[in-house]
Chain A
């Protein structure tokens, strides 16, 4: 897709004015990851209560795609049930961003946020909920993202 289609007003807006930017104190989930190829960094914090995402924040540095993607993802999952968040797919993220047909290098930027989220859910499922089966499933999904 062309740059004019990628760098739309909304992507630039989320890049320059990220929603839910910051950290939570004592979050239930805290997950950090980076893309070794380009050095993009992302950390997500979530609080879970009664099986719902009650608060979510992120910090990071990187390109417009990775940062806008993370910010938009936080809005997408805020208030959602834990079950719905677990089900989020690659397509959901790209739909939400309005970015399709990204090349192999740039799709990693768009999906870093989902990768961080899924890795965070993995730790939460395996350590706090002791749900090994769901944890393994989500770990596999995370590693299969790119």
Chain B
């Protein structure tokens, strides 16, 4: 068991009040998580004590900053079990990582009539880059559908794989709306047999589950620091070395070059070939502290805690008359995300009402309008949990839902 009280003490923001005197119940963790003091201190320590640019200067500050930045790369490689540290590319976030692959790999490898497959439960960041690419190339974008339980209809994948034209299959390891944990290994196994490359969006999974990239065996993997206690503006693209070596750069500029002449440039080695310009040094260093924090707790414990709190919340919420829950009810198949609707209360009205009780949830389409269409709703409310959330907070949330019902005379 994790000691929630100790954990909560590390998060200064959890002590603040909202709407004058209400304790903050932060259930919008799928959007971004709060930051422990260790992360905030790491960032401020960099600016206070060794702020400098990395990689080229020879002075002591630069050396300290370079070591801190590059040590983060090693930590991440270990955290998601990657063999080669140079396969870890720092980007701004998952969105940029996916766009990087679409641009630097997609434009070279996807041709007319080729097929790219995504799923109906993707975030817009794993749909729009592929629309741009397939439109440019005259290629096709196809979807794996979602069943009524919120799980992928994998048979639809086979149909497309049979054509032999599938270049890439891309999907999130955990849905940001339904919480569904994708059967990633099965999808990857099927794709490998047919020679299709696989990109996995780990934005929702890496913060909450133990992820082992060597075991997963995909080709590209993306995730963001800010959804796992780290700062905004930092993310990771991991890709196989042989793919990265054959890809064109995404951005041109400093740091990504070996030699620049008037009309020709040779590229720097991996990972620097893909890290043009001064990177987000401070936040990469903050990310390092976030990983330390999660490793200290242990990802198995994180998952255990979330299963417990999700089970408790699902039980309590399903008792409310008029509630409609989306996604699998089996917590073995879902992360700590609960999407729902209550009677005819629009999610924005619901979120406004319960916000008054200090409960922060998300309402809207969650950047997943394709899924909203599939569910035949314009929006849902979404509560999402993390390591610092408690059952008492779930009680406050549920009580607030009853108040919303009352206000709407339901």
**Contact in complex: A106, B352 (CB < 8 Å):** yes
| Surface stretch bound by A, among B59-67, B148-156, B174-182, B342-350 | B342-350
- Taking a contact as CB atoms closer than 8 A, the residue among A16, A37, A65 that contacts B349 in the complex is A65
Q: Which of B344, B346, B347, B407 has the most CB of A within 10 A?
A: B346
The answer to whether A3 touches B378, judged by C-beta atoms less than 8 angstroms apart, is: no
Cβ of A38 within 8 Å of any chain B Cβ, yes or no, is yes
A93 within 8 A of B: no
- Residues of chain A at interface, number, CB under 8 A: 19
A residues near B409, Cβ cutoff 8 Å: 12
Contact yes or no, B363 A3, CB < 8 A: no
Most buried by A among B348, B379, B407: B348
A133 an interface residue at 8 Å Cβ cutoff? no
Q: How far is the CB of B360 from chain A (nearest CB, A)?
A: 13
- Asked if A6 is at the interface of the complex by the 8 Å CB criterion, the answer is yes
A38 touches B407 (CB 8 A): no
- For the complex, give the distance between the alpha carbons of A37 and B365 in Å: 9
Chain A residues 2 to 44 lying within 8 A of chain B, measured CB to CB, are 2-4, 6-7, 12, 16, 37-41
Other-chain contact of B372, A2, A39, A40 (Cβ < 8 Å): A39
A75 to B231 Cα, complex, angstroms = 49
B356 in the interface, Cβ–Cβ < 8 Å?
Answer: yes
Q: Please provide the chain B residues from 338 to 369 with a CB less than 8 Å away from any CB of chain A in the complex.
A: 344-349, 352-353, 356, 363-365, 369
Q: Is B353 a contact of A64 with CB atoms below 8 Å? A: no
A4-B349 contact given A39-B364, A39-B369, CB 8 Å threshold: no
B408 touches A (CB below 8 Å) = yes
Minimal beta-carbon separation of B194 from chain A (angstroms): 37
In contact, B352 and A39 (Cβ under 8 angstroms): no
Contact between A39 and B365 (Cβ–Cβ < 8 Å)? Answer: yes
Query: Are B344 and A3 in contact, with the CB atoms below 8 A?
Result: no
- Of A3, A37, A61, the residue contacting B352 (CB under 8 A) is A3
CA distance A62 to B356 in the complex (A): 21
Nearest chain B CB to A39 CB, angstrom units: 5
User: Does A109 reach chain B (CB closer than 8 Å)?
Assistant: yes
CB of B171, distance to nearest CB on chain A (Å): 23
B349 touches A38 (CB 8 A): no
A7-B353, A39-B364 known; A63-B346 Cβ under 8 A: yes
Check B378 against A6 for contact (C-beta < 8 Å): no
Residue numbers in B under 8 Å from A3 (CB-CB) = 352-353, 356, 404, 407
Q: Which of B344, B345, B378, B409 has the most CB of A within 10 A?
A: B378
Interface string of B391-410 (1 = CB under 8 A from A): 00000000000001001110
Query: Footprint of A on B, CB under 8 Å?
Result: 344-349, 352-353, 356, 363-365, 369, 372, 378-379, 404, 407-409
Please list 6 pairs of residues, one from A and one from B, whose beta carbons are closer than 8 Å in the complex, sorted by A's number: A3-B404, A7-B407, A7-B408, A37-B364, A38-B363, A64-B345
